[in-house]
Chains A and B, each alone.
Chain A
Amino acid sequence: MEIMYFYLLAAVAVASGFMVVTCKSPVNNAIALMMTFVCLANFYVMLDAPFMAAIQIMVYAGAILMLIIFTIMLLNLGTAVARKGSHSVVWATVLALLIAMQGYFVINRGEVSGITGEITGEMVKKVGHTELIAKSLFTDFLLPFEIASILLLVAIVGAVIIAKKEV
């Protein structure tokens, strides 16, 4: 049952990912991207990570993609003119195939890190995913967390300064 649901979701995710690249109208691209994000959020739920799913929806589908759509609507972008036989398409295909092959070999050899350690699947189910993330974020990984916050703060200040210049 669950595996069937996974294959269904995966098919939708891949199909909508394909549509992001192939659709000509920018708004349709954005909608297809939203579909991919929603599918990813579903995967997180299936992996017992509901907090990640909620953040995926709120941050990516709710905020970032909304900003993209906002920009498309404000600039009123028309349909893109298709270019044929561009070199970038060839290089992108080669790169994508390489990454896919790498992923395939790594998974096949079973070299996945993070299986051992004190935080196990049972522990996540017992204590709760959100609590565990919060705990490790504010104890073990406090310094990287603070550095990331300062980086974001700098970005916000920069955005304000750039916006002020126009007036």
Chain B
Amino acid sequence: MNDILITLLIIIIKLGLIFAVVLTMAAYLVLAERKILARMQLRYGPNRVGPFGMFQPVADLIKMLTKEDVCPAGADKYLFLFAPGLAAVTALMSLAVVPFGPTIEIFGQQVPQVVCDLNIGVLYFLGLSSLAVYGIALGGWASNSKYALLASIRGLAQLISYELSMGLAVVPIIMAARSFSLTDIVMAQESLPFVLIYPETFLIFFVSVAAESKRIPFDLPEAENELVAGFHTEYSGMRFGLFFVGEYINMIILGSMTTIFFLGGWHGPLLPPIFWFLFKVLGVAFVFIWMRGTMPRFRYDQLMHFGWKVLMPIALLDVVVRGGFMVWSLGG
């Protein structure tokens, strides 16, 4: 009984820590994005609330919580209220399989730095990212607004298309690590991160991840100058906030996945593993922000053309060539 209690306690502490850290990170990622973008556009960005604008996320949170929660007339009420939660929850659930560091010992207890090391971790992540589509699709549909509906149809098509190439780009990594478990994949990169061995797979994966994150240059679902604010046009207050936070948590998760699959996870010299992990995730997030500051948006037909006729065949070819090479080198 005592053992079960301790295990339960460890899991609860881990969950609490991860939620606190990730939600704070998501809030400050918003601030970081505004600051970095402002610098890239020769502005200052938010700098009024607290020193260097450090309390801006707190002010934003208070504003969102105190705003009126409007449900438009003619909207499907339950789905309208349900969709933002779905968007945030599917984003948060992926965190359960992310390994932040190797197993450590605390008070004589072996504590792995992951909530649950599933032996199908990769599939869990892919499954949840395919469920994440529902948040956008239902939110846009339930709003009873033509802009939101157009945006959610666009978002649906985009996410489904790019999920394929993302899934295919993970296949060579699974073949190399010989496991679906994210911890095993990180362990396999102890000497050399996979990005050096599989540079072309990394490129395919990174482009698909950028498309999955729904940010510029792939921000068709919320193209401001065409669709007002895309699928969350009709949302206000904290429900809009949930969509917003979900998007940034998603950015952190996609950054972690890129780190785990290609950048060697927590491995790195000198510093403790968890710092390396955070450092790499924030690096990927910075590249996302950088892309937003420098790139124009795709046109919709270009997006579909690129996804299905360029990225997909290359990803398939990559799987075949890498797989063939692996079989050949094994002497099979």
Contacts and interface: CB of A to CB of B under 8 A. Distances in A.
Interface stretch (A10-18, A50-58, A145-153): A50-58
B138 A54 contact: no
16 contacts: A27-B76, A27-B138, A28-B76, A51-B120, A53-B120, A54-B124, A58-B130, A61-B127, A61-B130, A62-B130, A62-B133, A70-B153, A73-B137, A73-B153, A73-B156, A128-B119
Interface string A62-96: 11001001100110000000000000000000000
Interface in A40-62: 50-51, 53-55, 57-58, 61-62
Interface in A106-161: 128, 130
A61 to B, nearest CB: 6
B130 A66 contact: yes
Contacts of B127: 54, 57-58, 61-62
Given A27-B76, A50-B118, A66 B126 contact: no
Nearest to A25: B76
A46 to B, nearest CB: 15
A28 B77 CA distance: 12
A34 interface: yes
B149 interface: yes
A58 B120 CA distance: 12
B266 interface: no
Contacts of A54: 120, 123-124, 126-127
B123 A51 contact: yes
A71 to B, nearest CB: 11
Contacts of B130: 57-58, 61-63, 66
A9 interface: no
Contacts of B137: 66, 69-70, 73
B124 A27 contact: no
B233 interface: no
- Interface centre among B126, B130, B157, by most chain A C-beta atoms within 10 angstroms, is B130
A66 B120 contact: no
A50 B153 contact: no
B141 to A, nearest CB: 5
Contacts of B118: 50
Interface of B: 76, 79, 118-120, 123-124, 126-128, 130-131, 133-134, 137-138, 141-142, 149, 152-153, 156-157, 160, 163, 180
Contact of A31 (B120, B138, B152, B153): B138
A34 B135 CA distance: 13
A106 B180 CA distance: 37
A54 B126 CA distance: 9
B123 A70 contact: no
Contact of B160 (A25, A31, A55, A63): A63
Contacts of B142: 27
Interface of A: 25, 27-28, 31, 34, 50-51, 53-55, 57-58, 61-63, 66, 69-70, 73-74, 128, 130
Closest 4 CB pairs of A and B: A62-B130, A54-B123, A57-B127, A58-B127
A26 to B, nearest CB: 11
B76 A50 contact: no
Given A62-B127, A66-B160, 18 more contacts: A27-B79, A28-B76, A31-B79, A51-B120, A51-B123, A57-B130, A57-B131, A58-B126, A58-B127, A58-B130, A66-B130, A66-B137, A69-B134, A69-B137, A69-B156, A70-B137, A73-B153, A74-B153
A31 B131 CA distance: 12
A25 B180 CA distance: 39
Contact of A130 (B120, B126, B128, B160): B120
Contacts of B160: 63, 66
Contacts of B134: 34, 66, 69
Contacts of A55: 123
B282 to A, nearest CB: 29
Nearest to A41: B127
Nearest to B132: A62
Contacts of B153: 70, 73-74
Nearest to B134: A34
Given A27-B76, A27-B79, A130 B119 contact: yes
A73 B141 contact: yes
A123 to B, nearest CB: 15
A131 B149 CA distance: 42
B141 A70 contact: no
